Structure 1
């Protein structure tokens, strides 16, 4: 039922306009569906884009070979577990974080990446293109190894991103409605105990009390929220504000914005206080790693901090989960000096 609801909410032809302009009927119906689900309406002058569906792809006047490649990208995006053991070493799919086939506003819809990259990324301190951005997801969120640049699979995933951006200009001047995981304002205090209570009441039914998620017939139904089968300490969602934004806008599934800001932040604090595989950028010493990445990335996570419950230093280990290596060779600097 939830999967059907998300599909209905996101189906339709593509269109975009600014919130102060006259919407066409399709765009207005799309906004009405999203707000009826509990998501906020667009703000003045935001770019509203309805990504095309796979049904739209079948009807599109493009070459059959291109359709085949986009279909392959969709298949890899929604079932990334087919790459398990070679490029993926946990229980995640791309669609585990980017809900609604990567089309859902406020769940980091993937089409903005296709029209805003190449662009500078603070996480690695250089300009990234779309392939490199996808590679980062495999490195951190999949606790894995990136697809080879220019490979058939990388081409397919890139094509799917770009297909969803059909009709949007490159480097749009308007702010994008529903981009990323926008977080509510952080409360003055966060509670581990309250986060645990709320997680057990709202999240454990799908993601299990131990955070291991749910798998059926070797396929992920609900992803792991921590542990060896979850993302590693370098993944974006270990940042508290990212996790809080995802939870507030998307969880419990099908009930966006049903939790208070405090509840979303407390659940994020509890979840991100649990262990997971090591950050691939780990130098072998957690203090040294924090010196390198604390000022940018880990200042927003609990990595290297003492856990409130028992004082354990989070991330102080060599565990890489099922991955038989720490750092894939794709993590490298880029400079034009």
Structure 2
């Protein structure tokens, strides 16, 4: 039994009956995927059995634990209910889900988001600030050191500075007529609500989220990359529903991504002078397709929670 299977079985024991059924179904799907031959199209990161039994191996294990259960192991830096592994599936291994093995070797790199060349440590810090709605750990501190070691290990043997297949979420063309929030609501009810809750609130076992919230105070903030509808659509199309990726049409992926991101969430921490308009003009006007600073169903989005 691998770590992913073990985690899902533990989740199943802790969840209410209907959620446990979901977790067990997902465990079966993921087990079937693991049993299938790995695609030669994608880089293959090292197996857990190849992890060295030394100080480096211990640091890698610490990084993996941080990645999978971020709030537990880095509580001072996480301000919501998410973990790194919610957006980078299979513990950061899965191709087409922004895997760590494809990201690590591409840094340092220029990022339009902050208009400078970023180190990998700075990229990780940004994830904490935006996706985790928290604060950036010290670039030279133990949290970044462990996550960097885990990423470095997963990238063992990968070419440096070469964009590998499966690096990001594959782009999904938008619907010809644009996204439709009403259709998105229908897709959400049919395909997403059972896991993520009717109001995007996720599901908990005790105080911990086992199925992540998609909007609201415990989700990613308005500065996270996933607030872009095009980015969310790409992730959803490739990876959701969990274990059944690519089963949604391109159009439905866009519709449901727009519906998800038409709800309020924590404020963009880059808010300028308390002004949503100024913040949109500077950071959101040319940042993909997004609804920050726009009025939806009579509500101005971007006020934050």
Tell me if both proteins adopt one fold, taking TM over 0.5 as the criterion: yes
In the alignment, what sits opposite 2:43?
49
CA distance in 2, matches of 1:3, 1:50: 21
Contact 1:122 1:296 in 2 (8 A): no
Matches within 5 A, 1:55-134: 55-57=49-51, 60=52, 64-83=54-73, 85-134=75-124
TM-score, structure 1 as length reference? 0.79
In the alignment, what sits opposite 1:270?
259
Shift of 1:169: 1.9
Q: 2:38 matched to 1:30?
A: yes
- CA 1:267–1:129: 2 relative to 1, 3 Å: same
2:173 to 176, 182, 185: 185
CA distance in 1, matches of 2:54, 2:75: 31
Shift of 1:122: 0.9
Shift of 1:300: 2.1
2:301 to 295, 301, 314: 314
Shift of 1:311: 2.3
CA distance in 1, matches of 2:148, 2:33: 24
Gaps of 5+ in 1: 12-27, 33-41, 43-47, 322-337
Q: Structure 1 or 2: larger helix share?
A: 2
Larger Rg: 1
CA distance in 2, matches of 1:303, 1:83: 31
In the alignment, what sits opposite 1:169?
159
Contact 2:66 2:74 in 1 (8 A): no
Shift of 1:4: 5.6
Aligned CA RMSD, in angstroms, stands at 1.8
SS in 2 for 1:72: helix
Q: 2:213 matched to 1:232?
A: no
Per-residue Cα deviation, 1:12-42 (whole angstroms, up to 9, x for no partner): xxxxxxxxxxxxxxxx93018xxxxxxxxx4
CA distance in 1, matches of 2:131, 2:286: 18
CA distance in 2, matches of 1:268, 1:54: 34
CA distance in 2, matches of 1:179, 1:160: 17
Q: 2:14 matched to 1:6?
A: no
SS in 2 for 1:86: helix
Task: Could you list the structure 1 runs, at least 4 aligned residues long, displaced by more than 4 angstroms after superposition.
Answer: none
1:220 to 182, 197, 209: 209
Contact 1:183 1:248 in 2 (8 A): no
CA distance in 2, matches of 1:291, 1:202: 34
Shift of 1:182: 1.5
Gaps of 5+ in 2: 1-23
CA distance in 2, matches of 1:69, 1:279: 32
CA distance in 1, matches of 2:197, 2:74: 22
Number of equivalences = 279
In the alignment, what sits opposite 1:203?
192
CA distance in 1, matches of 2:74, 2:102: 27
Contact 2:65 2:73 in 1 (8 A): no
